[in-house]
Chain A
């Protein structure tokens, strides 16, 4: 079975500072990893994904994530946080092989960027 852990329910960071939202995963075989952001009363918006290739993935709105196979991690990062980045962030995983294509989501991390 595949699973995702987001160890922090809440992350607070000052505007302009770098931010990190942590994610670790468990899956059989090669992982496909995703980050989604959710604003209040809105659907999940795709930020970035790792399928293969460079371990550092760049996505929307200046976000990036680093795939670390040995640590089974896929932490989301941004060099300089904006107040508008405040939202709920979900990490998700699925196996890279096999017929099952559904995502398994982490429990989410509420990011608050303080002005």
Chain B
């Protein structure tokens, strides 16, 4: 079965550069979530989209922005990168609500800022 696809798997950037992370949800999933997991940390919610509209916002820095496109894929844009942005960035998708809701996570993009 198709899973959540994230690209790239690994990304190396320097301080003050920009980065774009992509997420392709499972077909027919209408909701995408972005999480950031620092080294040895638990995943922290950044932002989510439902039907191409931002639905919730968590601890996402102002330097970051995201959107969900008409084909439901999502992109996380990160500017003025800082060393502390080095982390594993997960995307998750889901469909349904309430009893049927379950998040499926991608394998993540490992971002290293040098």
Contacts and interface: CB of A to CB of B under 8 A. Distances in A.
A96 B98 contact: yes
B56 A44 contact: no
B104 A46 contact: yes
B42 A99 contact: no
A99 B56 CA distance: 8
Interface string B17-51: 00000000000000101000000011111001010
A95 to B, nearest CB: 11
B99 to A, nearest CB: 5
Interface in B92-114: 92, 94, 97-99, 101-108, 110
B98 A51 contact: yes
Interface residues of B, number: 28
B77 to A, nearest CB: 20
Give chain A's interface secondary structure class: loop
B55 A99 contact: yes
Nearest to A48: B102
A44 B43 contact: yes
B8 interface: no
Interface of B: 4, 31, 33, 41-45, 48, 50, 55-56, 58, 90, 92, 94, 97-99, 101-108, 110
29 contacts: A32-B101, A34-B103, A36-B105, A42-B107, A42-B108, A43-B4, A43-B90, A43-B106, A43-B108, A44-B92, A46-B102, A46-B103, A49-B102, A51-B98, A52-B99, A90-B42, A96-B98, A99-B55, A101-B48, A101-B50, A101-B56, A102-B33, A102-B45, A102-B48, A102-B56, A103-B33, A103-B103, A104-B45, A105-B43
